[in-house]
Chains A and B, each alone.
Chain A
């Protein structure tokens, strides 16, 4: 068995010279399949920065990062997009749903980019919505959903491609206690 995430000596520095901020100073991390890992720390301790690196949204200043066996540093833009699409499911603190389209279309979106046909897309998106208990809200626009429902749509969107890892950056940070219970796995 190979680890899903291998990170070694990962560094990220924002700014240069006097004002440089070292968000990450040599992080080492290994996550195996099936593991459930929580990263905790004070505000500004670099949790989000690390997750952005793992989600291929940002590039590290130095250090290595292997996702499901792929060295992120060596991939070109197209391969990175593919990796994000196939291997990573990302849930944001602020949901980040596309506001103009329905919940169903939001969940379908990753499948559009992986080149699935319409019928298959619809089936898998509905199944994912069903998994988070929102199949009756499929036609609603994001602003017609409550915070908890919106985040559950985001979770469904992250799960719909069957990714190797699910990264969630404070998924309940914007929600009240009751809604948090909704999102909890």
Chain B
């Protein structure tokens, strides 16, 4: 149970961390797909650049257009499906807190000249090159040759997607050769500070409304989310996941509790005569009740201890890409719950023992 909760917590902690890694002053603009009116206009690179406007949008620090696509990367005999291929501009790295661990990031000049260079995430680089040095090598992305200029620092998996399984290239090169010139996947905007985020959001809305010809009150063909909102949607997804795990844990607790009841019933039956003796020399009902409840609680506390130990050992391993995070309070909770289970499921056998009439208990063979 500890392990299940730890996995759930690990997933949400990773997601929270990855979104916080984005920075609290980041706003993403994404197109609304499948809007009912065909006049919806795609987000363009020009839109992204229009957002950097010291007059109209003083609270926007930088803005980078992003296109996401997928591609198969090939190096020599090795081929690998990259989780996410992103085309963007250099400001994106600063906005998303990513730095090069090896080599360097591409520059604005690479973007303007549409040079076919790529920066790989740690997982991608590892999968393609193994122990070899990737910087300076040429890889094929869907058959088109790109030069690796850098490898990003590791950031860790979010559980839902691995942010190290990426390839990031200049937007112009990606649009040229891989994705085509459709709508942007998103525009990542960095506000000048975390406090000015709502001001920045208002300014972005105003500029894009004007550029897309959206009148006041009409439905926009884009949506703006800041990292807090993004966090919210992601958290609700992982909460579901945690609830599901908790339900599994609850069912196993129920089964375990019935086991405790069974064992205690056997114990009571085995010791009916002893109960009779105790009653004959003046044990009140409460003393017998207390004795068997204490035994049931000890039994289940021992089980709880075992479970916590197994959970702690299990949580040292990574389970399907999620590093479990053990919350100290969940250990406490586990002990409390196992004690309660003992009390609850032990109460029926203990009560039966306590209610025995002394003469019947003594005659029992």
A90–B278 CB distance below 8 A: no
B251 interface residue, CB < 8 Å from A? no
Interface majority SS (helix, strand, loop, mixed), chain B: helix
B76 interface residue, CB < 8 Å from A? no
**A100 CA to B275 CA in the complex, in Å?**
13
- Enumerate chain A residues within 8 angstroms of B278, measured Cβ to Cβ: 98, 109, 113
Number of A-B residue pairs having CB atoms within 8 Å of each other in the complex: 63
Q: Which of A83, A86, A113 lies at the interface centre, i.e. has the most chain B CB atoms within 10 A of its CB?
A: A113
Interface size class of A (residues with CB under 8 A): 20 to 34
A96–B282 CB distance below 8 A: no
A21 interface residue, CB < 8 Å from B? no
Contact of A113 among B273, B274, B287 (CB under 8 A): B287
A97–B282 CB distance below 8 A: no
A58 interface residue, CB < 8 Å from B? yes
- Enumerate chain A residues within 8 angstroms of B276, measured Cβ to Cβ: 96
- Enumerate chain B residues within 8 angstroms of A58, measured Cβ to Cβ: 357-359
A window 74-128: CB within 8 A of B = 77-78, 81-86, 88, 90, 92, 96-100, 109-110, 113-114
A window 130-177: CB within 8 A of B = 157-158, 161
B281–A109 CB distance below 8 A: yes
Residues of B within 8 A of A (CB-CB), count = 18
B window 243-292: CB within 8 A of A = 273-274, 276-287
A81–B359 CB distance below 8 A: no
Distance in Å: Cβ of A30 to nearest Cβ of chain B: 24
> Chain A: residues with CB nearer than 8 A to chain B?
52, 55-58, 77-78, 81-86, 88, 90, 92, 96-100, 109-110, 113-114, 157-158, 161
> Chain B: residues with CB nearer than 8 A to chain A?
273-274, 276-287, 357-359, 362
Instruction: Other than A81-B285, A90-B281, A113-B283, give 11 A-B pairs with Cβ distance below 8 A.
Output: A52-B359, A55-B280, A57-B358, A81-B284, A85-B283, A88-B282, A98-B277, A98-B278, A110-B282, A113-B282, A114-B282
**8 A-B pairs with C-beta separation under 8 A:** A56-B358, A57-B357, A83-B282, A84-B279, A84-B281, A92-B280, A96-B280, A157-B281
